[in-house]
């Protein structure tokens, strides 16, 4: 081959070949590309990044600790001497171990309760740990709490009571708001990342009248902490559920109108519990409840039974909410053994019930599916991982009938709990739904949201085809999980408990 010939070939490859292929008069052959069907449009309002992260925690922990722990009271008077605060064996590491063993990823501590006593050495008051014998007045419970949490990968939240029965400035609006904001700055500037701040609306009937500058507080919080959720009766990040039993409404929307809410207003309790399908704000509820009758530790009190804790779980996490479980440290500065044991039992019970999805081996059918069989929104998505809310079944937009999805099992299934989850990243949609086993209705309800759990009123049921019918929805429903579980602790009616075989 001559040099000239080689040069000609190279010239053809590098210069001529491409131009002949893409000239306008001779377009390239169209190559069929398989592109994915886009997800459906969201239905507003949507959760923020931090709200979505919060929602997926499911159970979080509260620690009520302070002078009340030593006086056996629930609300201190504000007259307590800091000298009574002396938890000889305080070990925040043990609190966090307890939290981790309970599967908790966020722990909230009462930095200051209504009595005004501060668990950190605030430079704006002498009513704090600095005046106590604990660690010779050199201690800082918040610091130990934060360090222990960090060491175990637990996120931190803080409670700073607006109502302060100790401080002389309380009742003088400007002075007290300055004091409160100064303490917020101490707490949110000096202890690293804080993921939740709790503004408690509680206040005694005889408390002096004063205005809290909530807007200043909220803006300050958002300025100092990037990924924080602000809790109060009215948000703006998380709303109170309206009671302290840990129970959400049977209907529970994450959406609500904030303009209809105000902090400390007792007339909106029902609205807080159920939310509002037409609400323009994403403001999901948190269900606070204590493992014992009181929020603070009292020698005479004992923890709730596993059955009672599960009842709270089904009525909070199972109703689209978070369960904020209070576990009070005792006078030693430790979580009592009885509580530690109970929490382990509770955790084990939840794992026993939910670690196995009995629908795992089912094939799945649906009334329609977005983007056709290869669109990526098929019904098989509902039997995948329960924490993946971005993989979901979406019906076709054109489908106008009632939407349904069916689990079909090759062998008889035996279960007493149904779990349904919506892809809330695109908005909360389902208004009404029903569950059938082999054609017989076994459960029905309204909202679903992040997670809806039905403990079947009939107890254990058996069957091969389990159908979820969505009979009302704000837009096409997007279901990320439809799962079946067996709860050995659920006995709705002892007489009929054995088993109900459906046709």
Q: Which position among 115, 155, 186, 200 is part of the footprint of ligand FUL (CB under 6 A)?
A: 200
Q: Which is nearer to ligand FUL, 74 or 438 (CB)?
A: 74
Signed CA dihedral, 397, 398, 401, 407: sign only: negative
Q: What is the closest distance, in whole angstroms, from the C-beta atom of residue 104 to ligand FUL in the complex?
A: 17
Q: Which is nearer to ligand FUL, 196 or 422 (CB)?
A: 196
Q: Whole-angstrom Cα distance, residue 498 to residue 503?
A: 16
Show the binding pattern over residues 210-249: x = contacts ligand FUL (CB under 6 A), - = does not: ----------------------------------------
Q: Which is nearer to ligand FUL, 290 or 481 (CB)?
A: 290
DSSP calls for 209-231: P----HHHHHHHHHHH-TT-EEE
Q: Which is nearer to ligand FUL, 40 or 162 (CB)?
A: 162
Is residue 297 part of the contact set for ligand FUL (CB under 6 A)?
A: no
Look-up of token digits 């993921």? 195
Retrieve residue 318's tokens.
């199972």
Show the binding pattern over residues 146-185: x = contacts ligand FUL (CB under 6 A), - = does not: ----------------------------------------
Size of residue set near ligand FUL by CB under 6 A: 5
Is residue 392 part of the contact set for ligand FUL (CB under 6 A)?
A: no
Contact 421, 451 (CB under 8 A): yes
Is residue 84 part of the contact set for ligand FUL (CB under 6 A)?
A: no
Measured in whole angstroms, the distance separating CA 210 from the mean position of its chain's CA atoms is 32
Is residue 196 part of the contact set for ligand FUL (CB under 6 A)?
A: no
Q: Which position among 46, 84, 181, 202 is part of the footprint of ligand FUL (CB under 6 A)?
A: 202
Task: Give SS3 for 265.
Answer: coil
Look-up of token digits 């979901």? 392
From residue 85, give the alpha-carbon distance in Å to each of 67, 88, 142, 175. 6, 9, 15, 27
Q: Which is nearer to ligand FUL, 43 or 263 (CB)?
A: 263
Rg (CA), the chain: 28
Is residue 295 part of the contact set for ligand FUL (CB under 6 A)?
A: yes
Q: Which position among 58, 288, 422, 487 is part of the footprint of ligand FUL (CB under 6 A)?
A: 288
Q: What is the closest distance, in whole angstroms, from the C-beta atom of residue 202 to ligand FUL in the complex?
A: 3
Residue 260 contacts by C-beta under 8 Å, 6 or more apart in sequence? Answer: 268, 271, 276
Closest by Cα among 4, 196, 457 to 12: 4
Contact 339, 5 (CB under 8 A): no
Q: What are phi and psi of 136, to 5 degrees?
A: 50, 35
Q: What is the closest distance, in whole angstroms, from the C-beta atom of residue 159 to ligand FUL in the complex?
A: 7
Q: What is the closest distance, in whole angstroms, from the C-beta atom of residue 244 to ligand FUL in the complex?
A: 6
List interacting residues with ligand FUL (CB under 6 A): 74, 200, 202, 288, 295
């Amino acid at each position: 081959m001559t040099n000239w010939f080689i040069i000609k070939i190279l010239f053809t490859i590098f210069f001529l070949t491409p131009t002949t292929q893409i000239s306008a008069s001779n377009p390239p052959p169209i190559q069929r590309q398989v592109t994915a069907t886009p997800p459906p449009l969201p239905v507003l309002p949507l959760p923020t990044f931090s709200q979505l992260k919060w929602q997926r925690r499911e159970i979080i922990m509260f620690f009520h600790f302070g002078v009340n722990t030593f006086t056996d009271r629930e609300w201190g008077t504000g007259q307590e001497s800091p000298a009574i605060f002396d938890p000889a064996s305080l070990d925040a590491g043990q609190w966090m171990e307890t939290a981790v063993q309970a599967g908790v990823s966020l722990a909230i501590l009462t930095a200051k309760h209504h009595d005004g006593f501060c668990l950190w050495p605030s430079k704006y008051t002498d009513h704090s740990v600095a005046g106590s014998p604990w660690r010779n007045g050199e201690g800082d419970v918040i610091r130990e709490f934060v360090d222990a949490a960090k060491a175990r990968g637990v996120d931190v939240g803080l409670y700073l009571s607006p109502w302060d029965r100790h401080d002389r400035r309380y009742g003088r609006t400007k002075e007290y708001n300055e004091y409160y904001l100064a303490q917020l700055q101490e707490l949110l500037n000096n202890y690293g990342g804080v993921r939740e701040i709790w503004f408690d609306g509680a206040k005694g009937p005889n408390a002096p009248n004063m205005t809290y500058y909530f807007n200043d507080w909220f803006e300050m919080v958002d300025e100092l902490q990037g990924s924080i959720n602000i809790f109060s009766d009215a948000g703006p990040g998380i709303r109170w559920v309206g009671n302290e039993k840990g129970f959400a409404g049977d209907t529970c929307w994450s959406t609500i109108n904030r303009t209809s809410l105000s902090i400390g207003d007792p007339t909106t309790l029902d609205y807080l519990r159920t939310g509002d399908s037409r609400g323009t704000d994403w403001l999901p509820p948190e269900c606070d409840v204590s493992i014992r009758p009181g929020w603070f530790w009292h020698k005479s009190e004992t923890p709730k039974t596993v059955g009672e804790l599960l009842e709270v779980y089904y009525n909070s996490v199972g109703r689209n909410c978070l369960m904020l479980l209070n576990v009070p440290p005792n006078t030693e500065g430790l979580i009592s053994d009885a509580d530690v044991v109970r929490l382990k039992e509770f955790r084990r019970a939840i794992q026993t019930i939910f670690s196995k999805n009995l629908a795992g081996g089912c094939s799945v059918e649906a009334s329609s599916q977005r983007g056709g069989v290869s669109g990526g929104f098929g019904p098989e998505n509902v039997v995948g991982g329960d924490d993946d809310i971005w993989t979901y079944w979406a019906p076709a937009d054109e489908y106008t009938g009632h939407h349904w999805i069916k689990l079909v099992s090759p062998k008889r299934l035996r279960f007493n709990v149904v779990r349904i989850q919506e892809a809330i990243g695109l908005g909360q949609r389902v208004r009404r739904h029903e569950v059938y086993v082999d054609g017989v209705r076994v459960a029905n309800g309204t909202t679903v949201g992040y997670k809806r759990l039905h403990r079947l009123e009939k107890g254990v049921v058996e069957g091969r085809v389990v159908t979820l019918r969505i009979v009302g929805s704000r837009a096409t429903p997007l279901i990320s999980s439809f799962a079946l579980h067996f709860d050995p602790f659920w006995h709705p009616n002892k007489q009929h408990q054995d088993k109900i075989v459906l046709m």
